[in-house]
Amino acid sequence: MAKAFELKKEKLYRFTGGMAAVATPFDKHGKLDINHIDSYAKYLVRIGVKGVYIIGTTGEGYSLALNEKISLIQAWRKAIDSLPNENRLVAVVNVSSTVVSEIFQLAAKVEELNFDGVALLPPIYYQATTICHLTKYIKQILDKCAQNTPFLYYHIPSFTNELKFELEDFIEHALNKIPQFVALKYTDSNIVRFASIQSKFGDKVNIFAGFEETLLATKLHGGRAAIGATFSFVHSSLHYQSLIEAFEAKQLEKANNEQKMITNFCASLRIDGNFFATLKNQLNKELENEGKVAKLDSYNKWLGANYIIYHLRYVVAILLGHVEVEFPYISDTGTHVPESNFFAQMLNLVACLVAITVYIRFKQVEQYYRDDLTTQSTKIFRLNRIANFFGLLSALGLSVVANFREIELFKIHLFGALMAFGFGATYCWFQTWLSYSMAPLVNSIAMARWRLFLSIVITINFLTTCVMGQISIHHFHGKDPTNWNPGDGGFVTHVISSVAEWIAALSLDFFILSFTKEFQTFTMQTPRILLLKSYDILESTTIDGGRIESRENLHSSFFADPSISSGTQIMH
């Protein structure tokens, strides 16, 4: 038992990165709704969160009854246990209350359910006046109800007022008296004090930054982890991960830019005057969009399926004897009936899908840099527009190839092929540059390198196709270039040219399909159609889902519109 306890302490002490201070879900009547905890936990794992802080300030712990708190932590335990072992969230439960008997019951339940940590505030009304008083208060609870659960002390003087003594002195005393003490949530803007306690106790206590605005400052003084209210948002979580990576790479300017983005987002949540209500409204929208992500994911799978079906016409052309087996040009496999009809139909469809993908990618990059402005934004906007232009020209080239067969209008067909491959290769190079610029927030650095490799392959093989194709045509003396045989002259260079063309085409396919994972992180909303004659009526009709308030805001708006279509109405 002692060894297991020490391992649990070590786990919480070694925790690094972001832990989300999770919000608490209510239904439209203001009652606790635990039905979406499971999907909430899975969503947090998907956006890279490593842990959850339950029933904290963001979780409105002081607005919950004892039975609600117990139901909530049971739901979180069940949700976490359902996750794969490699994605299992570290979970700390705050058991603070103004009713001491509730604290005892909650702490016992946390230990029973084997959570990774129990958190506790100092008394907020009858305040501890001495170090011994506060230490005895905490020790009494832990020794009776949570002997084998690591303890996190919750320091938030803006809510509990300053201690009557120095925090450093309390930590030193608590380490000697409370064996469970291994972590501290530092929700305080006093960075001098953070630097002091991190320097003195960082080798014994994992001190979590509690204000997102201080993430970089605490990192500069040795902080390794943070508990944040905004870590339930994908962009905030990713910005924090990027901040850590930039700091460790000694890229302080980039780390500072990431901190500014997080700080600006926090400021936007305070504009309406109620941070938590606004946070939950925004989180509702993000979770609502989670239900729609599958649509873009399905779109990418559909695009991939069409690529496969499109290339199957090669098999048809071979079986019908319309082309030679040894790597004909792609267009040769769509020259004769019936594969020519199939070729035109499918390639037109692929051209449309590629154009849509190019546009979606354009809007993704544009929106990302519009939401998170950096010193590069103006340059990024310009390059993104240029990339979009080349991508659409490449899609147009595919359509030209589909509609102008090589045996009838060869020059136009060839021009379309040059557009498709030439502008396509140019588009890939622009997207590779953008991928490096947006790593690791939008895509990983590994993905940027993969796209660089594909861009090189596409370019080399496109040039090889052009050069070898001209050489082979010069030596050709057969009757039908769409069915090129070894005795027709220039056969070896023809095969090299056609193989290069297939490699370039497949590499372009892989490049476009590489956006699939990134398309899973956002959604595109259905356009609203406003009839001008009924404009006033439509403007007064809410069709985007209702307001969902925090319990803190019940005096002004208690009910919420239950019309969110995705079924992820999680935040009240």
445-456 residues labelled b (16+ CB within 10 A) or e (exposed): eebbebbbebbe
**CB contact set of 403 (below 8 Å; sequence gap of 6+):** 344, 348
Reference 165, options 191, 120, 123, 130; nearest CA is 130
pLDDT band of residue 526 (cuts 50, 70, 90) is: low
Mean pLDDT is lowest, of 223-227, 394-398, 496-500, for 496-500
**CB contact set of 352 (below 8 Å; sequence gap of 6+):** 395, 399
Longest dimension (CA), the chain: 101
pLDDT for residue 88 is more than 70: yes
Percent of the chain with pLDDT over 90: 40
Mean pLDDT is lowest, of 200-209, 329-338, 470-479, for 329-338
pLDDT for residue 570 is more than 50: no
Beta 225-228 vs 151-155: how paired, if at all?
unpaired
- To the nearest whole number, what is the mean pLDDT of the chain? 80
Whether the Cβ atoms of residue 548 and residue 284 lie closer than 8 Å to each other:
yes
Burial of 7 (0-12, 13-18, 19+ CB in 10 A): exposed
Question: Can you tell me the mean pLDDT for 99-120?
Answer: 95
User: How far out from the chain centre does Cα 550 lie?
Assistant: 25
Q: What is the pLDDT of residue 254?
A: 86
Mean pLDDT is lowest, of 134-138, 259-263, 519-523, 526-530, for 526-530
pLDDT for residue 359 is more than 60: yes
pLDDT for residue 204 is more than 70: yes
Q: What is the pLDDT of residue 176?
A: 95
Reference 283, options 545, 82, 514; nearest CA is 545
Predicted TM-score of the model (pTM): 0.62
Percent of the chain with pLDDT over 70: 76
Give the dihedral sign, CA 265/271/274/279.
negative
pLDDT for residue 297 is more than 80: no
| Residue 184 bridge partners (DSSP) | 153, 207
pLDDT for residue 534 is more than 80: no
Q: What is the pLDDT of residue 311?
A: 54
pLDDT band of residue 396 (cuts 50, 70, 90) is: very high
Q: What is the pLDDT of residue 544?
A: 39
pLDDT band of residue 190 (cuts 50, 70, 90) is: very high
Q: What is the pLDDT of residue 51?
A: 95
pLDDT band of residue 41 (cuts 50, 70, 90) is: very high
Structure-model confidence comparison of residues 480 and 37, the more confident one: 37
Whether the Cβ atoms of residue 493 and residue 484 lie closer than 8 Å to each other:
no
User: Which residue type is seen at 167?
Assistant: L
pLDDT for residue 498 is more than 50: yes
Structure-model confidence comparison of residues 301 and 108, the more confident one: 108
Q: What is the pLDDT of residue 89?
A: 94
Q: How far apart are the first and last CA of the chain?
A: 41
Whether the Cβ atoms of residue 464 and residue 496 lie closer than 8 Å to each other:
yes
**Range picked from 27-41, 273-287, 472-486 for highest mean pLDDT:** 27-41
pLDDT for residue 552 is more than 50: no
pLDDT for residue 541 is more than 80: no
Q: What is the pLDDT of residue 559?
A: 26
CA distance 402 to 392: 15
Q: What is the pLDDT of residue 313?
A: 55
pLDDT for residue 290 is more than 70: no
Q: What is the pLDDT of residue 148?
A: 94
Report DSSP state, residue 546: -
pLDDT band of residue 417 (cuts 50, 70, 90) is: confident
Q: Which long-range contacts (CB under 8 A, 24 or more apart) does 484-493 make?
A: 484/324, 484/328, 485/324, 493/468, 493/469
DSSP reduced 3-state for 272: coil
Q: What is the pLDDT of residue 324?
A: 58
pLDDT for residue 367 is more than 50: yes
Q: What is the pLDDT of residue 273?
A: 74
pLDDT for residue 553 is more than 50: no
pLDDT band of residue 340 (cuts 50, 70, 90) is: low
Tens digit of each residue's pLDDT (9 = 90 or more) over 231-245: 998 888 888 988 998
- Tokens for 351, please give them: 């051209």
Residue 431: enclosing H or E segment and its boundaries? helix 424-438
Q: What is the pLDDT of residue 43?
A: 87
CB atoms within 10 A of CB 132: 13
Whether the Cβ atoms of residue 20 and residue 48 lie closer than 8 Å to each other:
no
Q: What is the pLDDT of residue 556?
A: 29
Whether the Cβ atoms of residue 246 and residue 254 lie closer than 8 Å to each other:
yes
Q: What is the pLDDT of residue 140?
A: 95
pLDDT for residue 421 is more than 60: yes
Mean pLDDT is lowest, of 104-118, 338-352, 442-456, for 338-352
Question: Can you tell me the mean pLDDT for 103-132?
Answer: 93
Question: Can you tell me the mean pLDDT for 408-422?
Answer: 84
Q: What is the pLDDT of residue 535?
A: 43
Q: What is the pLDDT of residue 528?
A: 55
Whether the Cβ atoms of residue 475 and residue 489 lie closer than 8 Å to each other:
yes
pLDDT for residue 395 is more than 70: yes
Q: Where are the beta strands (DSSP E) in 254-408?
A: none
User: Given 3-state DSSP classes, what are the helix, strand and coil percentages for the chain, each rounded to the nearest 5?
Assistant: 60, 5, 30
